[in-house]
């Protein structure tokens, strides 16, 4: 039973967010910062759908106790988003042209 909570509450959302992170890094590097902001906006919708899907799957199909499962899922989901934000921000800052960096007041 503990393995199901770990699989559905930690591994599944982490894997989904890792796939989104890889695509997000690709979008920043290949398409630029503006396109990345658009992808981040669309990612909010798709990640919300994933959260709802994993909640439904865990509670209705797998039969996990929502009082245990939903906090685990929410905790992992939230902190993976924080980590993703820092990683994408790092790549966005590396993608700024030098002439624009010289214009900024430091």
Distances (CA, A) of 38 to 8, 32, 80, 102: 29, 10, 19, 26
pLDDT digits (tens, 9 = 90+) for 67-82: 999 999 999 999 999 9
Whether residue 49 is predicted with pLDDT greater than 90 in this model: the reply is yes
Over range 12-27, report the average pLDDT.
Answer: 94
Whether residue 6 is predicted with pLDDT greater than 90 in this model: the reply is yes
Whether residue 95 is predicted with pLDDT greater than 90 in this model: the reply is no
What's the first-to-final CA gap in the chain, in angstroms? 53
Whether residue 106 is predicted with pLDDT greater than 80 in this model: the reply is no
Whether residue 56 is predicted with pLDDT greater than 90 in this model: the reply is yes
For residue 82, count other CB atoms closer than 10 A to its CB.
9
Whether residue 59 is predicted with pLDDT greater than 80 in this model: the reply is yes
pTM, 2 dp: 0.84
pLDDT for the residue numbered 87: 95
């Amino acid at each position: 039973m503990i393995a199901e909570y770990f699989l559905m509450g930690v591994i599944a959302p982490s894997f989904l967010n890792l796939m989104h992170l890889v695509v997000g890094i690709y979008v920043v590097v290949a398409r630029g910062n503006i396109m990345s902001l658009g992808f981040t906006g669309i990612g909010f919708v798709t990640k919300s759908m994933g959260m709802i899907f994993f909640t439904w799957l865990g509670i209705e199909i797998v039969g996990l106790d929502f009082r245990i499962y939903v906090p685990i899922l929410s905790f992992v989901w939230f902190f993976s988003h924080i980590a993703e934000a820092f990683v994408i921000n790092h790549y966005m800052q590396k993608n700024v042209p030098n002439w624009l960096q010289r214009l900024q007041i430091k």
